Amino acid sequence: MPETSDQREQRLEKLTALRAAGVEPYPARFSCTHSVAQALHVFTSSEGSAESPVVRTAGRIMSIRVMGKASFAHIMDGSGRIQIYIRQDEVGEQAYEFFLKMFDLGDFIGVEGPLFRTRTGEITIRVQSFQMLAKALRPLPEKWHGLTDVELRYRQRYLDLLANERVRRTFITRTRIVSAIRRFLDERGFLEVETPILQPIYGGAAARPFVTHHNALDCDFYLRISDELYLKRLIIGGLERVYEIGRDFRNEGISTKHNPEFTQIEVYQAYADYHEMMRLTEELWSTVAHEVLGTTTITYQGHEINLTPPWRRWPMREAIKEATGIDIAIHTDLESLRQQIQERRLELDIKPTWGKQIEELFKEYVEPNLIQPTFILDYPLDISPLAKKKPDAPGLVERFEFFIGGLECGNAFSELNDPLEQRERFEMQWQQLQEGDAEAHPMDEDWIRAMEYGMPPTGGLGFGIDRMTMLFTDNPSIREVILFPALKPKSGE
Protein backbone atom coordinates (compact mmCIF):
# COMPACT_ATOMS: atom_id res chain seq x y z
CA MET A 1 0.00 0.00 0.00
CA PRO A 2 1.65 3.26 -1.09
CA GLU A 3 1.86 5.96 1.54
CA THR A 4 -0.41 8.87 0.86
CA SER A 5 -1.29 11.73 3.07
CA ASP A 6 -5.01 11.79 2.58
CA GLN A 7 -6.97 9.31 4.65
CA ARG A 8 -9.75 9.25 2.11
CA GLU A 9 -7.23 8.33 -0.59
CA GLN A 10 -5.92 5.51 1.56
CA ARG A 11 -9.39 4.16 2.13
CA LEU A 12 -10.24 4.39 -1.56
CA GLU A 13 -7.18 2.27 -2.26
CA LYS A 14 -8.37 -0.29 0.28
CA LEU A 15 -11.73 -0.30 -1.45
CA THR A 16 -10.06 -1.06 -4.77
CA ALA A 17 -7.95 -3.76 -3.14
CA LEU A 18 -11.06 -5.34 -1.60
CA ARG A 19 -12.78 -5.55 -4.96
CA ALA A 20 -9.60 -6.88 -6.58
CA ALA A 21 -9.59 -9.64 -3.98
CA GLY A 22 -13.19 -10.50 -4.85
CA VAL A 23 -14.68 -9.01 -1.69
CA GLU A 24 -17.79 -6.87 -2.09
CA PRO A 25 -17.30 -3.92 0.28
CA TYR A 26 -21.03 -3.07 0.32
CA PRO A 27 -22.93 -6.38 0.54
CA ALA A 28 -26.71 -6.21 0.56
CA ARG A 29 -27.36 -8.12 3.77
CA PHE A 30 -26.04 -9.75 6.87
CA SER A 31 -28.33 -11.74 9.09
CA CYS A 32 -27.82 -11.17 12.80
CA THR A 33 -28.99 -13.45 15.56
CA HIS A 34 -28.64 -10.71 18.16
CA SER A 35 -28.39 -6.96 18.39
CA VAL A 36 -25.44 -5.75 20.42
CA ALA A 37 -27.65 -5.17 23.45
CA GLN A 38 -29.21 -8.62 23.07
CA ALA A 39 -25.76 -10.20 22.83
CA LEU A 40 -24.71 -8.54 26.08
CA HIS A 41 -27.94 -9.62 27.70
CA VAL A 42 -27.80 -13.23 26.52
CA PHE A 43 -24.35 -13.58 28.01
CA THR A 44 -25.31 -12.07 31.34
CA SER A 45 -28.31 -14.35 31.70
CA SER A 46 -26.42 -17.50 30.72
CA GLU A 47 -23.23 -16.80 32.65
CA GLY A 48 -22.09 -19.78 34.68
CA SER A 49 -23.54 -22.42 32.35
CA ALA A 50 -21.10 -24.72 30.57
CA GLU A 51 -21.72 -23.59 26.99
CA SER A 52 -21.15 -19.94 26.27
CA PRO A 53 -23.64 -18.56 23.75
CA VAL A 54 -22.61 -17.93 20.15
CA VAL A 55 -23.88 -14.74 18.58
CA ARG A 56 -23.92 -13.24 15.11
CA THR A 57 -24.11 -9.48 15.24
CA ALA A 58 -22.96 -6.35 13.44
CA GLY A 59 -21.99 -2.75 14.00
CA ARG A 60 -19.72 0.14 13.22
CA ILE A 61 -16.08 -0.16 14.32
CA MET A 62 -15.48 2.59 16.88
CA SER A 63 -12.00 1.65 18.12
CA ILE A 64 -9.28 -0.88 17.31
CA ARG A 65 -6.40 -2.01 19.53
CA VAL A 66 -3.90 -4.17 17.67
CA MET A 67 -1.63 -6.25 19.88
CA GLY A 68 0.33 -8.29 17.41
CA LYS A 69 -1.35 -11.58 16.71
CA ALA A 70 -4.57 -10.56 18.46
CA SER A 71 -6.70 -7.43 18.35
CA PHE A 72 -9.54 -5.88 20.26
CA ALA A 73 -12.13 -3.54 18.81
CA HIS A 74 -15.41 -1.99 19.86
CA ILE A 75 -18.38 -2.12 17.56
CA MET A 76 -21.54 -0.07 17.98
CA ASP A 77 -25.07 -0.52 16.70
CA GLY A 78 -28.28 1.30 17.54
CA SER A 79 -28.67 -0.68 20.75
CA GLY A 80 -25.21 -0.32 22.25
CA ARG A 81 -21.53 -1.09 22.12
CA ILE A 82 -19.65 -4.35 22.53
CA GLN A 83 -16.03 -5.44 22.37
CA ILE A 84 -14.82 -7.98 19.84
CA TYR A 85 -11.62 -10.01 20.09
CA ILE A 86 -9.93 -11.36 16.98
CA ARG A 87 -7.05 -13.82 17.28
CA GLN A 88 -4.84 -14.98 14.48
CA ASP A 89 -5.01 -18.60 15.67
CA GLU A 90 -8.81 -18.39 15.75
CA VAL A 91 -9.57 -16.93 12.32
CA GLY A 92 -6.40 -17.98 10.47
CA GLU A 93 -3.35 -16.07 9.34
CA GLN A 94 -4.85 -14.84 6.09
CA ALA A 95 -8.13 -13.63 7.55
CA TYR A 96 -6.32 -11.92 10.42
CA GLU A 97 -4.05 -10.09 7.99
CA PHE A 98 -7.13 -9.14 5.99
CA PHE A 99 -8.72 -7.63 9.08
CA LEU A 100 -5.64 -5.58 9.89
CA LYS A 101 -5.09 -4.32 6.36
CA MET A 102 -8.64 -3.66 5.18
CA PHE A 103 -10.69 -2.55 8.18
CA ASP A 104 -10.70 1.02 9.49
CA LEU A 105 -12.52 2.95 12.15
CA GLY A 106 -16.01 3.70 10.91
CA ASP A 107 -16.39 0.58 8.78
CA PHE A 108 -19.34 -1.71 9.42
CA ILE A 109 -18.44 -5.28 10.27
CA GLY A 110 -20.47 -8.43 10.86
CA VAL A 111 -19.01 -10.94 13.34
CA GLU A 112 -19.83 -14.35 14.70
CA GLY A 113 -18.46 -16.14 17.72
CA PRO A 114 -18.94 -17.15 21.34
CA LEU A 115 -19.13 -14.65 24.16
CA PHE A 116 -16.68 -14.55 27.02
CA ARG A 117 -15.49 -12.21 29.73
CA THR A 118 -12.00 -10.75 29.51
CA ARG A 119 -9.52 -10.59 32.33
CA THR A 120 -10.74 -7.09 33.13
CA GLY A 121 -14.35 -8.27 33.14
CA GLU A 122 -15.69 -6.92 29.85
CA ILE A 123 -18.17 -9.04 27.90
CA THR A 124 -16.53 -9.72 24.53
CA ILE A 125 -17.18 -11.66 21.33
CA ARG A 126 -14.38 -14.08 20.46
CA VAL A 127 -14.58 -13.74 16.69
CA GLN A 128 -14.61 -16.91 14.63
CA SER A 129 -15.66 -15.28 11.38
CA PHE A 130 -16.25 -11.75 10.23
CA GLN A 131 -17.36 -9.87 7.15
CA MET A 132 -17.03 -6.38 5.70
CA LEU A 133 -20.50 -4.85 5.63
CA ALA A 134 -19.74 -1.30 4.52
CA LYS A 135 -16.46 0.53 3.98
CA ALA A 136 -16.26 4.09 5.31
CA LEU A 137 -14.23 6.47 3.17
CA ARG A 138 -13.81 9.30 5.64
CA PRO A 139 -12.39 9.15 9.15
CA LEU A 140 -14.71 9.55 12.14
CA PRO A 141 -14.47 12.46 14.59
CA GLU A 142 -11.88 12.09 17.31
CA LYS A 143 -12.67 9.32 19.78
CA TRP A 144 -11.98 11.19 22.99
CA HIS A 145 -13.18 14.76 22.46
CA GLY A 146 -15.81 13.79 19.90
CA LEU A 147 -17.19 16.52 17.70
CA THR A 148 -17.55 19.90 19.39
CA ASP A 149 -17.48 22.44 16.56
CA VAL A 150 -21.07 23.66 16.71
CA GLU A 151 -21.34 24.45 13.03
CA LEU A 152 -20.08 20.99 12.04
CA ARG A 153 -22.40 19.39 14.58
CA TYR A 154 -25.44 21.03 12.96
CA ARG A 155 -24.36 20.74 9.34
CA GLN A 156 -23.25 17.12 9.72
CA ARG A 157 -25.64 16.00 12.41
CA TYR A 158 -24.97 12.34 11.60
CA LEU A 159 -21.44 12.79 12.94
CA ASP A 160 -22.77 14.53 16.03
CA LEU A 161 -25.13 11.62 16.67
CA LEU A 162 -22.34 9.12 16.13
CA ALA A 163 -19.83 10.82 18.35
CA ASN A 164 -21.95 12.30 21.13
CA GLU A 165 -24.03 10.01 23.31
CA ARG A 166 -25.86 12.93 24.92
CA VAL A 167 -27.08 14.17 21.55
CA ARG A 168 -28.40 10.72 20.75
CA ARG A 169 -30.27 10.64 24.02
CA THR A 170 -31.78 14.07 23.43
CA PHE A 171 -33.33 13.06 20.13
CA ILE A 172 -34.54 9.72 21.43
CA THR A 173 -36.22 11.62 24.26
CA ARG A 174 -37.82 13.98 21.77
CA THR A 175 -39.37 11.07 19.89
CA ARG A 176 -40.61 9.53 23.14
CA ILE A 177 -42.20 12.82 24.17
CA VAL A 178 -44.19 12.95 20.94
CA SER A 179 -45.29 9.32 21.32
CA ALA A 180 -46.36 9.91 24.91
CA ILE A 181 -48.38 12.98 23.92
CA ARG A 182 -50.18 10.96 21.25
CA ARG A 183 -50.95 8.19 23.73
CA PHE A 184 -52.25 10.69 26.26
CA LEU A 185 -54.61 12.39 23.82
CA ASP A 186 -55.68 9.24 21.99
CA GLU A 187 -56.72 7.66 25.29
CA ARG A 188 -58.93 10.67 25.96
CA GLY A 189 -60.78 10.41 22.69
CA PHE A 190 -58.93 13.04 20.67
CA LEU A 191 -58.56 12.44 16.93
CA GLU A 192 -55.22 13.19 15.33
CA VAL A 193 -55.78 14.99 12.04
CA GLU A 194 -53.80 16.68 9.29
CA THR A 195 -54.62 20.10 7.87
CA PRO A 196 -53.04 22.16 5.08
CA ILE A 197 -49.54 23.52 5.35
CA LEU A 198 -50.00 25.45 2.11
CA GLN A 199 -52.71 27.97 2.89
CA PRO A 200 -54.31 30.71 0.78
CA ILE A 201 -54.63 32.89 3.89
CA TYR A 202 -52.37 32.45 6.89
CA GLY A 203 -53.62 33.00 10.41
CA GLY A 204 -54.05 31.80 13.95
CA ALA A 205 -50.98 33.61 15.24
CA ALA A 206 -49.20 36.93 14.93
CA ALA A 207 -46.22 36.33 12.69
CA ARG A 208 -44.88 37.01 9.25
CA PRO A 209 -45.34 34.09 6.86
CA PHE A 210 -43.25 32.49 4.15
CA VAL A 211 -44.78 32.80 0.70
CA THR A 212 -44.52 30.24 -2.07
CA HIS A 213 -46.01 29.86 -5.51
CA HIS A 214 -48.12 27.13 -7.06
CA ASN A 215 -47.28 26.93 -10.75
CA ALA A 216 -50.29 25.00 -12.09
CA LEU A 217 -52.80 27.14 -10.18
CA ASP A 218 -50.64 30.22 -10.74
CA CYS A 219 -51.27 31.62 -7.28
CA ASP A 220 -49.34 32.25 -4.11
CA PHE A 221 -49.68 30.17 -0.98
CA TYR A 222 -48.50 30.85 2.52
CA LEU A 223 -46.75 28.25 4.62
CA ARG A 224 -48.88 28.03 7.71
CA ILE A 225 -47.96 29.96 10.84
CA SER A 226 -50.42 27.85 12.84
CA ASP A 227 -53.07 25.15 12.43
CA GLU A 228 -55.72 26.96 14.38
CA LEU A 229 -58.38 28.03 11.89
CA TYR A 230 -58.48 24.68 10.11
CA LEU A 231 -58.74 22.71 13.33
CA LYS A 232 -61.59 24.91 14.49
CA ARG A 233 -63.37 24.26 11.17
CA LEU A 234 -63.26 20.59 12.18
CA ILE A 235 -64.89 21.46 15.50
CA ILE A 236 -67.65 23.16 13.51
CA GLY A 237 -67.87 20.01 11.41
CA GLY A 238 -68.56 17.92 14.49
CA LEU A 239 -65.14 16.42 15.22
CA GLU A 240 -65.34 17.51 18.81
CA ARG A 241 -61.86 16.62 20.00
CA VAL A 242 -59.02 17.04 17.53
CA TYR A 243 -55.30 17.63 17.60
CA GLU A 244 -52.48 18.02 15.14
CA ILE A 245 -48.74 17.80 15.64
CA GLY A 246 -46.98 19.53 12.83
CA ARG A 247 -44.54 22.01 11.47
CA ASP A 248 -45.29 25.72 11.51
CA PHE A 249 -43.25 28.29 9.63
CA ARG A 250 -42.57 31.84 10.72
CA ASN A 251 -40.47 34.23 8.68
CA GLU A 252 -38.66 35.84 11.57
CA GLY A 253 -35.32 36.08 13.25
CA ILE A 254 -33.42 33.01 14.39
CA SER A 255 -32.37 32.74 18.02
CA THR A 256 -31.75 30.17 20.74
CA LYS A 257 -35.54 30.07 21.18
CA HIS A 258 -36.69 30.46 17.56
CA ASN A 259 -36.22 28.31 14.48
CA PRO A 260 -38.04 29.38 11.30
CA GLU A 261 -39.71 25.98 11.14
CA PHE A 262 -40.75 24.46 14.43
CA THR A 263 -43.11 21.79 15.66
CA GLN A 264 -46.27 22.72 17.42
CA ILE A 265 -49.18 20.74 18.77
CA GLU A 266 -52.63 22.25 18.78
CA VAL A 267 -55.56 20.69 20.63
CA TYR A 268 -59.24 21.69 20.44
CA GLN A 269 -62.05 20.41 22.61
CA ALA A 270 -65.70 21.31 22.17
CA TYR A 271 -67.64 22.43 25.26
CA ALA A 272 -64.41 23.17 27.13
CA ASP A 273 -63.14 26.56 28.23
CA TYR A 274 -59.69 27.78 29.10
CA HIS A 275 -59.90 26.47 32.66
CA GLU A 276 -60.47 23.01 31.22
CA MET A 277 -57.46 23.54 28.94
CA MET A 278 -55.32 24.42 31.96
CA ARG A 279 -56.19 21.11 33.57
CA LEU A 280 -55.47 19.31 30.30
CA THR A 281 -52.11 21.09 29.98
CA GLU A 282 -50.77 20.34 33.44
CA GLU A 283 -52.09 16.80 33.27
CA LEU A 284 -50.49 16.19 29.88
CA TRP A 285 -47.11 17.65 30.77
CA SER A 286 -46.80 15.80 34.06
CA THR A 287 -47.98 12.51 32.54
CA VAL A 288 -45.55 12.79 29.63
CA ALA A 289 -42.70 13.68 31.99
CA HIS A 290 -43.49 10.70 34.13
CA GLU A 291 -43.63 8.35 31.14
CA VAL A 292 -40.53 9.66 29.39
CA LEU A 293 -38.29 10.68 32.28
CA GLY A 294 -39.76 8.60 35.08
CA THR A 295 -40.27 11.69 37.21
CA THR A 296 -42.29 14.90 37.25
CA THR A 297 -39.33 16.89 38.54
CA ILE A 298 -36.96 18.20 35.91
CA THR A 299 -33.76 20.18 36.10
CA TYR A 300 -33.45 23.00 33.60
CA GLN A 301 -30.31 25.13 33.48
CA GLY A 302 -29.69 24.63 37.16
CA HIS A 303 -33.31 25.14 38.26
CA GLU A 304 -35.26 22.32 39.79
CA ILE A 305 -38.77 22.44 38.34
CA ASN A 306 -41.77 20.52 39.61
CA LEU A 307 -44.38 19.72 36.98
CA THR A 308 -46.84 18.08 39.36
CA PRO A 309 -50.34 19.62 39.09
CA PRO A 310 -51.82 21.94 39.99
CA TRP A 311 -49.67 24.67 38.51
CA ARG A 312 -49.84 28.23 39.70
CA ARG A 313 -52.65 30.26 38.11
CA TRP A 314 -51.74 33.91 38.08
CA PRO A 315 -53.83 36.59 36.41
CA MET A 316 -51.71 38.86 34.28
CA ARG A 317 -53.17 41.86 36.10
CA GLU A 318 -51.82 40.62 39.44
CA ALA A 319 -48.47 39.58 38.00
CA ILE A 320 -47.86 43.00 36.49
CA LYS A 321 -49.10 44.74 39.60
CA GLU A 322 -46.73 42.78 41.77
CA ALA A 323 -43.76 43.33 39.49
CA THR A 324 -44.29 47.01 38.64
CA GLY A 325 -47.04 48.41 40.86
CA ILE A 326 -49.18 49.25 37.83
CA ASP A 327 -52.81 48.09 37.88
CA ILE A 328 -53.96 47.53 34.34
CA ALA A 329 -57.56 47.34 35.53
CA ILE A 330 -57.32 50.99 36.49
CA HIS A 331 -55.16 52.19 33.61
CA THR A 332 -57.36 50.90 30.84
CA ASP A 333 -56.18 53.12 28.02
CA LEU A 334 -52.83 53.60 26.35
CA GLU A 335 -52.35 57.17 27.57
CA SER A 336 -52.76 56.47 31.26
CA LEU A 337 -50.72 53.27 30.97
CA ARG A 338 -47.82 55.16 29.41
CA GLN A 339 -48.06 57.78 32.08
CA GLN A 340 -47.70 55.11 34.76
CA ILE A 341 -44.67 53.66 33.00
CA GLN A 342 -43.09 57.08 32.84
CA GLU A 343 -43.87 57.95 36.46
CA ARG A 344 -42.24 54.75 37.63
CA ARG A 345 -39.28 55.32 35.33
CA LEU A 346 -39.55 51.85 33.82
CA GLU A 347 -37.13 51.14 30.99
CA LEU A 348 -39.49 50.05 28.26
CA ASP A 349 -40.02 50.28 24.53
CA ILE A 350 -43.04 52.29 23.42
CA LYS A 351 -45.74 50.19 21.78
CA PRO A 352 -48.64 51.37 19.58
CA THR A 353 -51.58 49.86 21.48
CA TRP A 354 -52.68 49.27 25.05
CA GLY A 355 -52.47 45.50 24.68
CA LYS A 356 -49.04 45.54 23.09
CA GLN A 357 -47.78 47.89 25.76
CA ILE A 358 -49.03 45.53 28.46
CA GLU A 359 -47.45 42.62 26.70
CA GLU A 360 -44.15 44.50 26.64
CA LEU A 361 -44.47 45.32 30.34
CA PHE A 362 -45.12 41.67 31.08
CA LYS A 363 -42.24 40.37 28.96
CA GLU A 364 -39.78 42.73 30.52
CA TYR A 365 -40.76 42.53 34.17
CA VAL A 366 -42.57 39.25 34.78
CA GLU A 367 -41.68 36.61 32.21
CA PRO A 368 -37.97 36.04 33.01
CA ASN A 369 -38.89 35.15 36.60
CA LEU A 370 -41.43 32.46 35.76
CA ILE A 371 -39.33 29.41 36.55
CA GLN A 372 -41.88 27.06 38.13
CA PRO A 373 -44.81 26.15 35.84
CA THR A 374 -47.19 29.10 35.76
CA PHE A 375 -50.37 29.87 33.87
CA ILE A 376 -50.67 33.57 33.17
CA LEU A 377 -54.38 34.35 32.78
CA ASP A 378 -56.48 36.94 30.97
CA TYR A 379 -54.69 38.72 28.15
CA PRO A 380 -55.47 42.03 26.47
CA LEU A 381 -58.14 41.76 23.82
CA ASP A 382 -56.35 43.72 21.13
CA ILE A 383 -53.52 41.19 20.88
CA SER A 384 -55.93 38.21 20.98
CA PRO A 385 -58.26 38.42 17.98
CA LEU A 386 -59.41 34.78 18.20
CA ALA A 387 -60.17 34.55 21.93
CA LYS A 388 -63.45 35.05 23.75
CA LYS A 389 -64.00 38.12 25.91
CA LYS A 390 -63.73 37.69 29.63
CA PRO A 391 -67.04 38.68 31.25
CA ASP A 392 -66.84 41.72 33.54
CA ALA A 393 -63.24 42.43 32.57
CA PRO A 394 -63.20 45.12 29.91
CA GLY A 395 -60.35 44.82 27.45
CA LEU A 396 -59.43 41.28 28.48
CA VAL A 397 -60.02 37.83 27.02
CA GLU A 398 -60.13 34.32 28.44
CA ARG A 399 -56.65 33.38 27.39
CA PHE A 400 -53.61 31.95 29.11
CA GLU A 401 -50.02 31.33 28.25
CA PHE A 402 -47.85 29.06 30.35
CA PHE A 403 -44.24 29.48 31.30
CA ILE A 404 -41.66 27.01 32.56
CA GLY A 405 -38.01 27.68 33.26
CA GLY A 406 -38.40 31.22 31.95
CA LEU A 407 -39.54 29.88 28.58
CA GLU A 408 -42.85 30.73 27.00
CA CYS A 409 -44.19 27.27 26.30
CA GLY A 410 -47.74 27.56 25.04
CA ASN A 411 -50.91 29.48 24.52
CA ALA A 412 -54.59 28.72 24.95
CA PHE A 413 -57.99 30.29 25.10
CA SER A 414 -61.71 29.95 25.26
CA GLU A 415 -62.24 30.23 21.53
CA LEU A 416 -64.21 33.11 20.13
CA ASN A 417 -67.29 31.54 18.49
CA ASP A 418 -69.40 34.64 17.80
CA PRO A 419 -69.01 35.25 14.04
CA LEU A 420 -70.10 38.87 14.13
CA GLU A 421 -67.63 39.69 16.84
CA GLN A 422 -64.94 37.78 14.92
CA ARG A 423 -65.52 40.12 12.01
CA GLU A 424 -65.10 43.16 14.28
CA ARG A 425 -61.89 41.70 15.69
CA PHE A 426 -60.49 41.16 12.22
CA GLU A 427 -61.42 44.71 11.33
CA MET A 428 -59.44 45.92 14.34
CA GLN A 429 -56.52 43.85 13.12
CA TRP A 430 -56.89 45.27 9.65
CA GLN A 431 -56.60 48.72 11.18
CA GLN A 432 -53.29 47.70 12.77
CA LEU A 433 -52.13 46.25 9.45
CA GLN A 434 -52.81 49.64 7.85
CA GLU A 435 -50.74 51.24 10.58
CA GLY A 436 -47.79 49.11 9.56
CA ASP A 437 -48.03 46.09 11.85
CA ALA A 438 -46.77 43.30 9.58
CA GLU A 439 -47.94 40.69 12.07
CA ALA A 440 -51.56 41.78 12.36
CA HIS A 441 -54.07 39.05 11.63
CA PRO A 442 -55.45 39.17 8.06
CA MET A 443 -59.19 39.24 7.37
CA ASP A 444 -60.43 35.73 6.69
CA GLU A 445 -63.94 35.76 5.19
CA ASP A 446 -63.95 32.01 4.68
CA TRP A 447 -63.32 31.48 8.35
CA ILE A 448 -66.09 33.85 9.37
CA ARG A 449 -68.48 32.05 7.05
CA ALA A 450 -67.59 28.72 8.66
CA MET A 451 -68.28 30.16 12.08
CA GLU A 452 -71.64 31.51 10.94
CA TYR A 453 -72.84 27.92 10.56
CA GLY A 454 -72.49 27.63 14.33
CA MET A 455 -69.51 26.74 16.44
CA PRO A 456 -69.86 25.21 19.91
CA PRO A 457 -68.04 26.71 22.87
CA THR A 458 -64.52 25.37 22.53
CA GLY A 459 -61.24 25.35 24.37
CA GLY A 460 -58.03 25.49 22.31
CA LEU A 461 -54.43 24.90 23.29
CA GLY A 462 -51.11 25.03 21.50
CA PHE A 463 -47.57 24.47 22.63
CA GLY A 464 -44.14 23.99 21.13
CA ILE A 465 -42.72 20.49 21.03
CA ASP A 466 -39.24 21.94 20.58
CA ARG A 467 -39.36 24.00 23.76
CA MET A 468 -40.88 21.10 25.65
CA THR A 469 -37.94 18.99 24.53
CA MET A 470 -35.50 21.71 25.57
CA LEU A 471 -36.97 21.58 29.06
CA PHE A 472 -37.07 17.79 29.27
CA THR A 473 -33.48 17.38 28.02
CA ASP A 474 -31.99 20.46 29.71
CA ASN A 475 -30.83 22.09 26.47
CA PRO A 476 -30.56 25.89 26.38
CA SER A 477 -30.86 26.23 22.60
CA ILE A 478 -33.66 25.15 20.28
CA ARG A 479 -31.02 24.07 17.75
CA GLU A 480 -29.98 21.31 20.13
CA VAL A 481 -33.42 19.70 19.88
CA ILE A 482 -33.98 20.07 16.13
CA LEU A 483 -32.09 17.48 14.10
CA PHE A 484 -31.29 19.82 11.24
CA PRO A 485 -31.75 23.42 12.42
CA ALA A 486 -31.93 26.25 9.93
CA LEU A 487 -28.47 27.43 8.89
CA LYS A 488 -27.37 29.74 6.16
CA PRO A 489 -25.92 27.71 3.28
CA LYS A 490 -22.20 28.09 2.92
CA SER A 491 -21.60 30.08 -0.24
CA GLY A 492 -20.72 27.79 -3.14
CA GLU A 493 -22.81 24.91 -1.79
Partner RNA sequence: GAGCCGUUAGCUCAGGAUGGUAGAGCACCUGCCUUUUAAGCAGGGAGUCGCGCGUUCGAGUCGCGCACGGCUCACCA
CA-angle at 268, arms to 358 and 368, nearest 5°: 30
- Residue 283 contacts RNA per CB under 7 A: no
Sites for RNA among residues 3-32 (CB under 7 A): 3-7, 10
What does the alpha-carbon distance between residue 62 and residue 78 come to, in Å, rounded to a whole number?
A: 13
Sites for RNA among residues 44-63 (CB under 7 A): 63
Least Cβ distance, residue 189 to RNA (angstroms): 26
Least Cβ distance, residue 295 to RNA (angstroms): 27
- Residue 143 contacts RNA per CB under 7 A: yes
Which of these, 161, 407, 374, 174, lies nearest to 300 by C-alpha position?
407
For residues 238 to 267, the per-residue mask of contacts with RNA, x marking binding by CB under 7 A and - elsewhere, is ------------x-xxxxxxx---------
| Amino acid (1-letter code) at residue 190 | F
- Residue 430 contacts RNA per CB under 7 A: no
Least Cβ distance, residue 27 to RNA (angstroms): 21
Burial of 99 (0-12, 13-18, 19+ CB in 10 A): buried
Least Cβ distance, residue 4 to RNA (angstroms): 7
- Find the binder of RNA among 245, 428, 477, 483 (CB under 7 A): 477
For residues 286 to 325, the per-residue mask of contacts with RNA, x marking binding by CB under 7 A and - elsewhere, is ----------------------------------------
- Residue 336 contacts RNA per CB under 7 A: no
- Residue 350 contacts RNA per CB under 7 A: no
Handedness of CA 111, 115, 118, 122 (dihedral sign): positive
- Find the binder of RNA among 105, 346, 433, 483 (CB under 7 A): 105
Total number of residues that touch RNA (CB under 7 A):
79
Least Cβ distance, residue 65 to RNA (angstroms): 4
- Residue 434 contacts RNA per CB under 7 A: no
For residues 112 to 131, the per-residue mask of contacts with RNA, x marking binding by CB under 7 A and - elsewhere, is ----x-xxxxx-x-------
- Find the binder of RNA among 138, 169, 303, 312 (CB under 7 A): 138
- Residue 443 contacts RNA per CB under 7 A: no
CA-angle at 62, arms to 61 and 64, nearest 5°: 80
Cis amide leading into 457 (omega within 30): no
- Residue 1 contacts RNA per CB under 7 A: yes
- Residue 173 contacts RNA per CB under 7 A: no
- Residue 363 contacts RNA per CB under 7 A: yes
- Residue 411 contacts RNA per CB under 7 A: yes
Q: β-pairing, 374-380 with 312-315?
A: parallel
Which of these, 292, 316, 189, 257, lies nearest to 466 by C-alpha position?
257
For residues 195 to 224, the per-residue mask of contacts with RNA, x marking binding by CB under 7 A and - elsewhere, is ---------xxxx-----------------
- Find the binder of RNA among 33, 78, 101, 165 (CB under 7 A): 101
- Residue 89 contacts RNA per CB under 7 A: yes
